[in-house]
Structure 1
């Protein structure tokens, strides 16, 4: 049976590869499978898993994604009509922080419920293959949120997107393609900050995004208790799930994200099951809070995250918000096989200097006494080197002047272990993916060149980037930094 299903998949893909379906990034004239990348068959191992779980190759799919755990799940409809988990994919890279996307350029990856139709599938992506998340949806627009071209794509590079390896996105793309070939008009994409458990909610109970998270948790609960795709509507700038017309109504309610909610009901069997789950979760949440469950730190300054299996393969790898960068967890994953090729341009999560500089009050408070102690202690125990002595005798006093300036201005002294922070800014600027999804088929041309890589090299320790973010170093009136600060 597995062989027959696989043969059918290959024949279907080959027969429809030349057909023009509504499947471009920004056009209605691009097919779902116009090239070899987009026409790859579903792997035989995955087809066998479908047979084992009583799924058809072309049955509908549903995608769920969790930022903190850095995981993407593909669910598929079984012959009974329920959805079952087919496969979980570790996410190679996502950017931003926990919380929804608010405005263009904030590097945030979106959270919420979105609908993916064939026109959002991009076989010509500059990042191997991709699909557009559909952000902003009606809810986002009602709140005035902005942003565009937020994708799930390959190349393991993110600037507001969810990035997989090329091998992973090829597999996910093939599953979406086959579901469309089977008649699914659109598949649902659910993006969450984390698994919506009582433990995670208790850990993040101090986060200002909690009202929004509780709202989308209701949609999560609808899916959890029914294992069916929840119907999503919007009104009064909020989500509404599985709304139906009242018993005495003659037509379905009409929803508008910015208008007052129409009369609607939620089917009793769904509402009662969701209410029971909510009561259990609330009781567990209260129990964890009463026990003093530690709260997660806010504004850690780390830009996004990546799954531990990828972080363990990268020098100085860090999972970012995924699990706090537990070195033991990374060590335990180092022997595991990565699900795909990790490109040389991937950058692990690093502190976001732009975000830190936007909060000068916090950064300035942290740079008071400690910097003074470091500056006064460092020169005291050092003897003058041969080269320093030679330079002083022949009249080359730049080194001596620099030492005097450091002693005279303790706040300008470098703080130990901060040079790594200085390295992060060039990497986050040079190595991120271009914002717009290009229709060019040649991906390598858009990757960082040798020149770009050289530009991302660490800056000399004497630059002001070694300061704590937001601090204002004191420099001499005749110094280079003072005279040319406008150029920076």
Structure 2
């Protein structure tokens, strides 16, 4: 009887353990395998897109917005949706070292293995910082993510609901055959006005390099090809001998000329920027205490407090990171 009881107890314990494991796996799978919302699938259909078509992501710090672009039947990318970001940390400018609270700026490529279904912030994907250029420059840091909730220490945080939708769209694109999707992270929308405001910033040369990739996408609606040499980004160039091996060395001779339409756009913006800067007709650049927050969330924080915003943005009510700094975000959409 005692042996039988022990056996029954062991079976019960094993069943409980297996049940817990299955439950845990199902909970993870339930988050990570949520379908794309029907309304968004309908929006894709209306824009001549399919759920499996390739995507591209653009992030703008100053505006606290994340865009999902999707390739349509014309073969070009079109804007699918824009998501307000609840929190990003640091200031405008690239991330350079671990612990600086800076959210990365640059061009990244996210593969299926970089999707994280077990994130402590609901769901997430890793940007892949440092990329090849950043690593060559000696920049440090790891696990820089786009994730849910409203808490950031170098990451880009949306709501749980928002990241679930983005995760589903990314998952289906990668399942559809896209090897990786490009993420373009910018300090701001790279208009002549914003460039003129930041003309005296120490990061201006770096931002001017990023703008070349920005302009290619704005003009052509296709993903720019990213290369690195001379310690900077180079876009849409073919080089003698193939891709440069030494990221910090001089760029090899190029085999192709820049796209004339893109070059015209870049030159037009440069002249407009210089004219605005010379005339003194632009406001000074923003100074951030510690990152920003989309105005829609900032209004909720001001009106209802951080606990109410935490409930609005996270299924587990993750606390808002540095709410006072978020309220000090100087960006106003009316400017």
Match of 2:35 in 1: 41
User: Counterparts of 1:147 and 1:313 in 2: how far apart (Å)?
Assistant: 32
Q: Is the counterpart of residue 304 in structure 1 residue 279 in structure 2?
A: no
Greater shift, 188-197 or 234-243, is seen at 234-243
Written as runs of structure 1 = structure 2, the 5 A alignment for 1:246-395 is 252-266=242-256, 268=257, 271-297=259-285, 300=287, 302-315=289-302, 343=317, 345-347=319-321, 349-351=323-325
User: Counterparts of 1:213 and 1:242 in 2: how far apart (Å)?
Assistant: 17
Q: Deviations over 1:193-248 (max 9, x none)?
A: 000000001111121110100011001111111111011011121111111256xx
Unpaired runs of 5+ in structure 2? 1-24, 306-311, 329-335
Task: Classify 1:349/1:265 alpha carbon distance in 2 versus 1 (closer, same or farther; 3 Å).
Answer: farther
Partner secondary structure for residue 305 of structure 1: coil
Task: Classify 1:243/1:301 alpha carbon distance in 2 versus 1 (closer, same or farther; 3 Å).
Answer: closer
Contact 2:239-2:252 at 8 Å conserved across structures: no
Q: Deviations over 1:162-220 (max 9, x none)?
A: 00110000000001100011000000000000000000011111211101000110011
Partner secondary structure for residue 73 of structure 1: strand
After the TM superposition, list the runs of 4 or more consecutive aligned residues in structure 1 that deviate by more than 6 angstroms. 338-342
Written as runs of structure 1 = structure 2, the 5 A alignment for 1:161-172 is 161-172=155-166
User: Counterparts of 2:80 and 2:123 in 1: how far apart (Å)?
Assistant: 21
User: Counterparts of 1:340 and 1:147 in 2: how far apart (Å)?
Assistant: 25
Task: Classify 1:131/1:238 alpha carbon distance in 2 versus 1 (closer, same or farther; 3 Å).
Answer: same
Task: Classify 1:260/1:291 alpha carbon distance in 2 versus 1 (closer, same or farther; 3 Å).
Answer: closer
User: Counterparts of 1:301 and 1:195 in 2: how far apart (Å)?
Assistant: 17
User: Counterparts of 1:242 and 1:113 in 2: how far apart (Å)?
Assistant: 13
Contact 2:89-2:101 at 8 Å conserved across structures: yes
User: Counterparts of 1:58 and 1:344 in 2: how far apart (Å)?
Assistant: 32
Task: Classify 1:190/1:292 alpha carbon distance in 2 versus 1 (closer, same or farther; 3 Å).
Answer: same
Contact 1:72-1:90 at 8 Å conserved across structures: yes
User: Counterparts of 1:106 and 1:177 in 2: how far apart (Å)?
Assistant: 30
User: Counterparts of 2:316 and 2:200 in 1: how far apart (Å)?
Assistant: 35
Q: Deviations over 1:103-155 (max 9, x none)?
A: 00000000000010111110011110000010001111111111111000011
Greater shift, 277-286 or 152-161, is seen at 277-286
CA apart distance, 1:344: 5.8
Task: Classify 1:271/1:343 alpha carbon distance in 2 versus 1 (closer, same or farther; 3 Å).
Answer: same
Q: TM-score, normalised by structure 2?
A: 0.82
Match of 1:406 in 2: none
Partner secondary structure for residue 58 of structure 2: strand
Q: Is the counterpart of residue 152 in structure 1 residue 146 in structure 2?
A: yes
User: Counterparts of 2:314 and 2:119 in 1: how far apart (Å)?
Assistant: 18
User: Counterparts of 2:303 and 2:291 in 1: how far apart (Å)?
Assistant: 15
Partner secondary structure for residue 35 of structure 1: helix
Contact 1:122-1:131 at 8 Å conserved across structures: yes
Match of 1:476 in 2: none
Contact 1:156-1:343 at 8 Å conserved across structures: no
Greater relative contact order (Cα < 8 A, sep 6+): 2
Structure index of larger Rg = 1
1:234 paired residue among 228, 231, 234: 228
Match of 1:53 in 2: 47
Task: Classify 1:317/1:347 alpha carbon distance in 2 versus 1 (closer, same or farther; 3 Å).
Answer: farther
User: Counterparts of 2:135 and 2:304 in 1: how far apart (Å)?
Assistant: 36
Contact 2:160-2:313 at 8 Å conserved across structures: no
More strand, by proportion: 2
Match of 1:334 in 2: none
Q: TM-score, normalised by structure 1?
A: 0.57
Output the aligned Cα RMSD: 2.5
Match of 2:331 in 1: none
2:130 paired residue among 129, 136, 144: 136
CA apart distance, 1:351: 4.6
